Amino acid sequence: MKSNEPRGVYVRIIRINYVHANTFSCSQTGCPPTKMGEVSSMLSHADAYEVLCLQAADEGRGEVLFGDSLARARKEARPFMVGEEFPSVYLEFPLVGEPFLDVTVLYGALSEGTRIDSPAAAGTDGLLDWFSGPASDNDDVSFGFELDTKHAELPAAAIHFQPRRCTDFVRPFCEAIGEPERADLYLDMVNRMPPDWPLSFFGLFRGRPGSPMRVCGYLGEHVTKACGDDSSCVAQVFDRVGFAAYDSRMLEQVSEAMRVAPGTVDFQFDVFPDGSLGTTFALDIQFEIKQPKVVRASFSEGPAGRVMRLLQAWGIADERWRLVPQASFARSLPMALKDGSIGKYALTLMPQWVKARWTDCELQPSKLYHLARASTFGSDGIK
């Protein structure tokens, strides 16, 4: 089992500013600039998270994209930056309407004794202990928390669990959160789905027995293409699983969204405790951008731009999406490893997907998700 102690990262920055070529300054702490090529000092996971938030918000983007919730998101998510490896952190913000920032934190592995010092994670000690067992050793399984930081008072964090095909973990997971009945709800839905629409993960609010469970899955490229070519494919799936909140216009919109998708698409339904489906359906359209250097091109005249212009034409995004490439970021800094050798610490902030959502057949405001990462590299790869 991996140690849960954050490995500690040797970087001397709290906010990255361009002072001059290849130089960074620490405006939040007053520490001296760090030049590229200069070995840097300790940075925790929580501080790395703040670096990435501040970079996304720099040059006035924070007010436009995140509003006044940025400060809360920076503060409230810090206690969730646990684990030996930096977790997968998703910054979620709307593309139309009042700006705000929510944060999702996902863990691939945790060790025994991990605790999160936040009221939003109250009552999760048993869950953290359970996940530190065999689930942490399975690369296909992950779990995490979704933090609603758009309101001044932070509610209890929602729970996200991704078992993928490892459905044997579903029941013990639900028992660990004290809601064993949720397991049958998810597993029943697994059996209801067509083979080409398999479920992979779910999310829920603890302590709200009447609230729906959100179930989600990834579509293969051939399914996305078929549904993009013919909206009746979507209708057939809706009818099979019992989703009735659609009309012909919504079907055409879903089909068009799939048609312009650059790659992977995942779908979402809400399932109520009695097994009935809610009136919301959503698609997460992934941008499939692998290298930071191609973000601008993709959002200009490339695949991401085509998706965003469609959403803007539908009225569920405005011009703020054009700030997304500027909020993206990738830098690596020299760092001293614990064994005395010199490695690199990489900070990246990349757009991952945009959500299109329908409720009672009507389009809802879209949201975009940035993935924030911090990784340590030695001479032999990721540490």
Say if residues 349 and 61 touch (Cβ distance below 8 Å). no
Q: Which of 96, 100, 97, 99 is nearest to 312 (CA)?
A: 96
The pLDDT of residue 207 is 75
Say if residues 348 and 292 touch (Cβ distance below 8 Å). yes
Say if residues 95 and 357 touch (Cβ distance below 8 Å). no
3-state secondary structure of 111: coil
| Residue ranges of the chain whose pLDDT lies below 70 | 1-42, 379-383
End-to-end CA gap in the chain? 15
Instruction: Report the C-alpha gap between 262 and 286 in whole angstroms.
Output: 7
Instruction: Report the C-alpha gap between 334 and 36 in whole angstroms.
Output: 7
3-state secondary structure of 49: helix
DSSP string, 274-330: TS-EEEEEEEEEE----SGGGHHHHHHTSHHHHHHHHHHHHTS--GGGGGHHHH-EE
Q: Residue type for 339, please?
A: D
Instruction: Report the C-alpha gap between 231 and 99 in whole angstroms.
Output: 33
The pLDDT of residue 379 is 55
Say if residues 205 and 211 touch (Cβ distance below 8 Å). yes
Q: Is-above-0.85 flag for pTM?
A: yes
3-state secondary structure of 375: strand
199: region left, alpha or beta (phi > 0 left; psi from -120 to 50 alpha)? beta
Instruction: Report the C-alpha gap between 246 and 280 in whole angstroms.
Output: 9
Let me know if 294 is exposed, middle or buried by CB neighbors in 10 A (0-12, 13-18, 19+). Answer: middle
Distance of CA 67 to the CA centre of its chain: 19
- Helix axis angle for 70-77 and 45-57, nearest 10°, is 170
Which two structure tokens, joined as six digits, stand for 70?
């940025």
C-alpha distances out from residue 56 to 59, 62, 295, Å: 9, 7, 14
The pLDDT of residue 381 is 57
CA atoms within 13 A on the CB side of 371: 19
Say if residues 346 and 377 touch (Cβ distance below 8 Å). yes
The pLDDT of residue 6 is 35
Residue 127, C-beta contacts closer than 8 angstroms, at least 6 positions apart: 143, 159, 173, 176, 177
Radius of gyration of the chain (CA): 21
DSSP string, 329-354: EEEEEEEE-TTS-EEEEEEEEEEEEE
Instruction: Report the C-alpha gap between 8 and 376 in whole angstroms.
Output: 10
Instruction: Report the C-alpha gap between 21 and 130 in whole angstroms.
Output: 47
Which two structure tokens, joined as six digits, stand for 125?
């000690």
Domain segments of the chain: what residues?
Answer: 9-382
The pLDDT of residue 382 is 54
